[in-house]
Structure 1
């Protein structure tokens, strides 16, 4: 075949294959155009899941009649004019490909009236064939009508799913938009019947929009995030670890207001939750990252789902440390929630600034209740490792020891504001749970899970205080690696040394390992080093060594925690409660299971139908 220029209609249909995957893609492109035009109300009419009809009406600034043909031509836009504009683009759309691409695979009509103009006009396009601009009555704003999507590309139409499935994709994208733009009213109808209305009366992340989009349970368990630094701002909501999901269906990330998927940030969030989330479960969050538009490239994906950061390593670390510090403050006894949700006024959900403390809930202990901390005997971690894995028998690194403190002479009334968050113990249930009376009702604590977390956090603190120790190998080990791995090891030699690995490059595809982290010397160190190199290549940093260390310390803490069926005295139970209130992440055990539950008096009253 000879080389020839493709016809414009085919060019647009090829572009549509990149931008328009399904009806939800059409809704996304058209609604984003409406938002860029300053719309404050958008009506979305659908038929047959958007396959038969998609009609988007907005009250934005509109288009002049003589510019309608230009609006549906390729690479025509009012949003950028130079490379400088592209490098700092702040609008949702900017390429000028959406309208011609959509018009090439549908029966398309564009009607608009410019703000302040007394003239309106419409332009129809049938499968890429341009019609005439015709005067038409229309209020200020724009209406785009897309009928019979993919009618002239039957192969694409065969890949569309059932009506309910396509409608579900549209609704999910609108939910994603509603979280980011609570100032815009969205009205949705399907097959002639109203199906959803998002009121445009809220501020960003208002409690109303949060409840509407993700439900009351998410809002009840949400922690507010607000942190700035290094020219970055991260704000939004993350769910407490006890509220988790089987899938990633409640994970929303926005960069400068644009909903995106980013592997680096997703990795940072996963690492932040690693120490508190139950195995195989997914965290829930709505996070907004704001930074200078010139530090992020939004022109890397045809549908603009992905972005590329100039300082990816800095942003990864910023997100990880912000969320890690917020989750560290999820102590037992604190109550999360948002305005409008039932919560104790004295224990309202704190706002975390990322690196500072959220502040402990306001309470004072009664003088008559001596509440000494529950001591945990922490031995040298190397000895603990040897006890667990060196044939030394049962672990002795952590041994439970309880303070023998007197119980209060008389338990205060349940409405006494001086009660600590977890209250005072009143009984032990089946040798497993501690029952405590608090100011709000009943607290139930899993004593093994709680003691396990306390011991784990103390072991981590002790190990961090003594610093990372390295152990030289008697005979240096030679590792066969790929050339890329060897290059990473050579470039990141200082980082590897800080992690306890003394590594030198001994050939194009070989490394020599001379020392390893002492705590992990008995494990599969070579596999760990390969994982570390993979992280350094992919994300610019790694927490593999810390994760491996934490896994070992968690095992030691589990072996040393108080076991089921051990009878505790009331002073011992109270000592455990007080330790929980001051220990980071004490709301979950080392495996991500909750350590405590609260039953308020109104909850208990409902059990017995009191007041009805």
Structure 2
């Protein structure tokens, strides 16, 4: 039998570094978190070659004495756990293994000076070997420098990516920590270039918008809700303000940046009926709850957490997000797309062929000559249209002839015409509003169908003549069995049928033609990815959305002034009317200032 031996300390540190230090961004995260925990009010980060050559962090925190610096370079030595109550961790770091792990696989220098002390101290460790220990001159605070990461560990060095990729990871780390602490000033430099310089004392919404996207503040809603001891704050983009990938979703738990599937699933659930499956919300959410209700000691990287009551946390996030979005659910994109506006140009002297037929034979001096008013237009009927778009004639006439004072009563303005038999042009008190009539009416019909209980009818169960047995992996069956009660509410009745099989007794009526085996396989995968199945609800929402689409006003339909104004008024009072069922805007506004710029009147 081979002899059992104790590993040398240097090798132990290198093994530990494999869990803590994966790349330059990992080391940077640990060092910046230490600076935050030290009470810094300003943190300066400098990196070279994406962090492959150097990572340097300077802060004005409390600093360390020479004795404290020596302890900080020992494994499992920390100042952040005054007692053994690890479930009460209130700091970003607490494991006491980051600095010695980094020092074992890089050239590591730490300089620090206590506030009120006359001089500082420097320690330099080269891949686990102390090579310098003496006084240093620096302002109160701490400076940490990591150079030549994995230079003496070629097996790890060759797995690092290009300087550009490592730079992107470093920027993401600093951005997330800067968002978590808007009270701290952050400066990031890459070589001789300043990437960003953020002042301290900012609000959360202002800091997030400055880091993520400046137009997020105008296209989002501020989140601030609480339930018992839990509180959710931050900023969430409108459904119409979305992206094709989920890389602009920032989630924080007790000020700690995390990547948690439960939180990601909760965000997807909150936006489920407002975004297409291939679109993703833009947001930054900060969840605060008692320390004993969340376990942060799951992984050395501390980016994963576990909640004592995961379902309560998920429900709180979904309801909080939906409630906050409801305050701006009639809003849409705040301005037309910049690239589209950039294509505006001076009208050619000769009308284009496509427009010549419109211009010819028109008496431009006649009242109401602008637009395409055609009377009469057929009213909208049908089971799925959810009612006609009708307005009393007297009110319609007064709306069409509204004065500037009257426009203030109507946020979406008064209809002035119809373009290409698809878009309604309205005049508001502060600009022009353009409405996609099909997308807008599609959302109105969907909300009416829901209000009329169509969702319950879509989810009604239809029993199978012969229950079907679906064989799956045992773990997948366990996941599905845990969600069986929720599936039953949506019309899918299943039960366990042995260790590796599920019995399907009924399907939702609208999905009666679905393949039970494929459906359960997809649901199991969905639970594995998000912690809870969202797929079945989304499939039923898709059925409702399809019904709404077929029952709504089509593009190319000529509308009367009465119908156009009726559509605008219903949009103003209908929830989520700012976006269609796929997350696209139903209307955009061109402010008067933008109109004047087009004509050089600014």
**Paired residues for 1:37-436 under 5 Å:** 37-84=38-85, 86-131=86-131, 133-192=133-192, 194-205=194-205, 207=206, 209-332=207-330, 379=383, 397-398=384-385, 401-406=388-393, 407-409=396-398, 411-414=401-404, 416=406, 418-436=408-426
Question: Residues 486 and 509 of structure 1 are in contact (CA less than 8 Å); yes or no, is this contact kept in structure 2?
Answer: yes
Structure 1 position 518 matched with structure 2 position 509: yes
- 2:466 is aligned, of 463, 475, 487, to 475
| RMSD, aligned α-carbons | 2.8
Q: Which one of 573, 578, 585 corresponds to residue 564 of structure 2?
A: 573
Residues 546 and 435 of structure 1: CA distance in aligned 2, closer, same or farther (over 3 Å):
same
1:445 aligns to 2:432 (yes or no): no
**TM-score where L is the length of structure 1:** 0.83
1:357-389 Cα offsets, whole Å, 9 max, x none, are xxxxxxxxxxxxxxxxx998785xxxxxxxxxx
What CA distance in whole angstroms lies between the structure 2 residues aligned with 1:24 and 1:429?
Answer: 52
Q: Which residue of 1 aligns with 2:596?
A: 605
Q: Structure 2 unaligned runs (5+)?
A: 336-377
Alpha-carbon distance in 2 for matches of 1:109, 1:80: 24
Distance 1:125 1:330, change over 3 A: same
Q: Who is 1:345 aligned against?
A: none
CA offset digits 1:426-470 (Å, max 9, x no partner): 111111111111111111111111111111111122226867533
SS state at 2:568 partner: helix
> Residues 336 and 2 (structure 1 numbering): CA distance in 2 closer, same or farther, change over 3 Å?
farther
Over 3 Å counting, the alpha-carbon distance change for 1:528 and 1:73 in structure 2 is same
With the length of structure 2 as denominator, give the TM-score of the two structures: 0.85
- Aligned partners of 1:376 and 1:271: how far apart in 2? 33
Q: 1:40 to 1:416 in 2, by over 3 A?
A: same
Q: Secondary structure at the match of 2:593?
A: helix
Q: Which moved more, 1:567-576 or 1:505-514?
A: 505-514
SS of aligned partner of 1:408: helix
- Of residues 101-110 and 321-330 in structure 1, the stretch that sits farther from structure 2 once superposed is 321-330
Compare 307-316 and 210-219 and name the one that shifted more. Answer: 210-219
Output the CA distance in 2 between the equivalents of 1:145 and 1:492.
50
1:455, 1:295 → 2: CA distance?
A: 42
| Aligned-residue offset at 1:335 | 7.9
2:490 matched to 1:499? yes
Once residues 585 and 330 of structure 1 are traced to their aligned partners in structure 2, the CA distance between those partners, rounded to angstroms, is 8
Distance 1:326 1:528, change over 3 A: farther
- CA distance in structure 2 between the partners assigned to 1:540 and 1:129 by the alignment: 45
Q: CA deviation at 1:148?
A: 2.3
Q: Secondary structure at the match of 1:254?
A: strand
Q: Work out the CA distance in 1 between the residues paired with 2:213 and 2:486.
A: 43
Structure-2 separation of matches of 1:493 and 1:212? 44
2:251–2:257 contact (8 Å) kept in structure 1: yes
Alignment partners' CA distance in 2, 1:134 and 1:566: 82
* SS at structure 1 position matched to 2:281: coil
How far the C-alpha of 1:493 sits from its partner, in A, is 5.0
- Deviation readout 1:12-40 (Å, 9 max, x if unpaired): 11222221122222221111111111111
Residue 163 (structure 1) shift: 3.3
1:267-308 CA distance string (max 9 Å, x none): 111122222224522211111011111111111122112111
Contact 1:376-1:455 within 8 A present in 2 as well? no
Deviations 1:474-514 (A, max 9, x none): 33334334444555566655444433344444444444443
Once residues 379 and 557 of structure 2 are traced to their aligned partners in structure 1, the CA distance between those partners, rounded to angstroms, is 17
CA-to-aligned-CA distance 1:84-120 (integer Å, 9 cap, x gap): 1x11111111111111111112222222222333343
- Aligned equivalents of 1:490, 1:109: Cα separation in 2: 54
Moved more, 217-226 or 261-270: 217-226
The 1:77–1:438 alpha-carbon spacing in structure 2 relative to 1, beyond 3 Å, is same
After superposing the two structures, state which structure 1 stretch, 68-77 or 22-31, moved more.
Answer: 22-31
Q: CA deviation at 1:262?
A: 0.4
Using the alignment, how far apart are the partners of 2:4 and 2:214 within structure 1? 60
Residue 23 of structure 2 corresponds to residue 22 of structure 1: yes
Q: Is 1:555 aligned with 2:546?
A: yes
2:421, 2:556 within 8 Å by CA — same for their partners in 1? Answer: yes
Q: 1:586 to 1:71 in 2, by over 3 A?
A: same
Q: Deviations over 1:60-89 (max 9, x none)?
A: 1111222322110111111114441x1111
Q: Does structure 1 residue 585 correspond to structure 2 residue 576?
A: yes
Q: Structure 1 residues 304, 461: closer, same or farther in 2, change over 3 A?
A: same
Verify the 8 A CA contact 1:414 1:441 in the aligned structure 2.
no
> Residues 121 and 135 of structure 1 are in contact (CA less than 8 Å); yes or no, is this contact kept in structure 2?
yes
Deviates more, 1:19-28 or 1:71-80: 19-28
Shift in Å at residue 157 of structure 1? 2.4
Question: Which stretch of structure 1 is more off in the superposition, 580-589 or 518-527?
Answer: 518-527
CA distance in 2, matches of 1:548, 1:101: 48
Contact 2:103 2:125 in 1 (8 A): yes
SS for the counterpart of 2:75 is: coil
Task: Tell me the distance in 2 between the aligned counterparts of 1:486 and 1:21.
Answer: 35
The residue aligned with 1:362 is none
Q: Secondary structure at the match of 2:204?
A: coil
On the 8 A contact 1:452/1:561 being kept in 2, the answer is yes
- State whether residues 334 and 588 of structure 2, in contact with CA within 8 Å, keep that contact through their aligned partners in structure 1: no
User: CA 1:335 to 1:126, structure 2 compared with 1: closer, same or farther past 3 Å?
Assistant: closer
Q: Give the distance between the partners of 1:192 and 1:330, measured in 2 at CA.
A: 42
- Indicate conservation of the 8 Å contact 2:412/2:426, yes or no: yes
**Paired position in structure 2 for 1:359:** none
Q: How many residues align?
A: 555
Which digits, 9 at most, give the CA deviation of each residue in 1:393-448, with x for residues without a partner? xxxx4366331532233633346563311111111111111111111111111111
Task: Report the Cα distance in structure 1 between the residues aligned to 2:496 and 2:483, rounded to whole angstroms.
Answer: 11
> Matched residues in 1 for 2:113 and 2:312: separation?
46
